[in-house]
Amino acid sequence: MRRAKVLMMAALFFLTIVSFGYAKRTFVTIGTGGVTGVYYPAGGAISKMVNKKYKEYGIKATVESTGGSVYNINAVLSGDLDFGICQSDREYQAWHGLAEWKGKGAQKNLRSVFALHPESITLIASVESGIKSVADLKGKRVNIGNPGSGQLQNSKDVLKAFGVSLKDIYPEYVKAVEAPGLLQDGRIDAFFFTVGHPNGTIKEATSGRVKVRIVPISGPAVDKLIKTHPYYAKSKILKKFYPMAANKTDTYTIGVKALLVTRKQESAKTVYAITKEVFENLDTFRKLHPAFEILTKQNMLEGLTAPIHKGALKYYKESGLIKYIPKNLIK
């Protein structure tokens, strides 16, 4: 009798938590980037907003520091990550089977959720190196990015646009977080970093003993690059973000956008919940990092290549935002 009573009470407790929606829990992981970049706090901001509504959605989100865009896309497609943050150019390349995905075919299971902050291709050089343009990199020691990062391909695209080959420089392939130390130690002359601003790594690079400048990436070569690579756009790095740099004015360059992506097989309910929480609390989200200040509901639907996930589409239809989405992304 006593055993039966205990079992009955346990069953009632289980039914109670099911009725309140607590029994079915979903754990999701968002792949980001290095801890000093914007990807990591971006993933943290999304997780924070979703986790606040745990009782409503039953979703527990966590972030994982990763090697960057290429890693995140591949991990999302394999199911090792539920969501990933990547550069818009990397989504374009994966969807069309280009760059790292050449020979592997178009990655048609990739899905867009929404866009985040713009990311500028940032070129930092020591003043004593004499580097004032991309063309000046010839014969110099330059970190162009670690394998698996989005910035590696960006660096190659910029170098090629300005007629600089990898044979013309002494390339390094380390993570961006290591580059300021190498620059301050005199072991490299310059480094590329595709990132949202302001950024801790760039602040570190501009605040050391060795004086540095942010090198502009502009001119006819850039116009041609944007024409052949439509996922690039002109951008600007504000001087006020890095007062200790040698620059006297804002720096003009080009950039891409950071995107939140998932795979076709991801739960529509989970994608819907994440999309809804970020969009319906955008004012709060914008305050979580300076790079998010310029975000609007409309520009968060720009720069996407892969089709929108059906869970996100459900929210965009309900909210009337569907009108801002190109028809080729609605499938």
pLDDT digit string (tens) for 11-46?
444 444 444 444 468 999 999 998 877 899 999 999
Residue 176 structure tokens: 């961006």
Q: What is the CATH number of domain 2-118+257-329?
A: 3.40.190.10
Topology agreement, domain 2-118+257-329 and domain 121-255: yes
Instruction: Assign 3-class secondary structure to 233-279.
Output: EEEEECHHHCCCCCCCCCEEEEEEEEEEEEECCCCHHHHHHHHHHHH
- Rounded to whole angstroms, the Cα distance separating 207 from 185 reads 13
pLDDT number for residue 21: 42
Q: Which of 158, 177, 178 is nearest to 166 (CA)?
A: 158
pLDDT digit string (tens) for 66-114?
989 999 999 999 999 999 999 999 999 999 999 889 999 999 999 999 9
Task: Assign residue 166 a region (left: φ > 0; alpha: ψ between -120 and 50; beta: otherwise).
Answer: alpha
- Rounded to whole angstroms, the Cα distance separating 60 from 92 reads 29
pLDDT number for residue 14: 44
Alpha carbon separation from 130 to 1, 136, 143, 165 (Å, rounded):
88, 8, 16, 19
For 121-255, the fitting CATH number among 3.40.190.10, 3.30.460.10, 3.40.50.280, 3.40.1160.10 is 3.40.190.10
- What are the mean pLDDT values of the chain's consecutive 10-residue runs (331 residues total)? 49 44 77 87 94 95 94 97 95 94 96 93 97 98 90 94 97 95 97 91 94 97 90 88 96 94 98 97 92 89 94 98 94 84
pLDDT number for residue 3: 52
pLDDT number for residue 169: 98
- Rounded to whole angstroms, the Cα distance separating 264 from 109 reads 5
Q: What is the pTM of this model?
A: 0.74
Q: Under a CB-based contact definition with an 8 Å cutoff, are residues 45 and 39 in contact?
A: no
- Rounded to whole angstroms, the Cα distance separating 67 from 80 reads 14
Q: Under a CB-based contact definition with an 8 Å cutoff, are residues 219 and 254 in contact?
A: no
- Rounded to whole angstroms, the Cα distance separating 126 from 234 reads 24
- For the chain, the straight-line distance linking the first and the last C-alpha, in angstroms and rounded, comes to 58
Instruction: Assign 3-class secondary structure to the chain.
Output: CHHHHHHHHHHHHHHHHHHCCCCCCEEEEEECCCCCCCHHHHHHHHHHHHHCCHHHHCEEEEEECCCCHHHHHHHHHHCCCCEEEEEHHHHHHHHHCCHHHCCCCCCCCEEEEEEEEEEEEEEEEEHHHCCCCHHHHCCCEEECCCCCCHHHHHHHHHHHHCCCCHHHCEEECCCHHHHHHHHHCCCCCEEEEEECCCCHHHHHHHCCCCCEEEECCCCHHHHHHHHHCCCCEEEEECHHHCCCCCCCCCEEEEEEEEEEEEECCCCHHHHHHHHHHHHHCHHHHHCCCHHHCCCCCCHHHCCCCCCECHHHHHHHHHHCHHHHCCHHHCC
Owner of token pair 């929480």: 277
Alpha carbon separation from 42 to 65, 288, 294 (Å, rounded):
11, 8, 14
- Domain boundaries in the chain? 2-118+257-329, 121-255
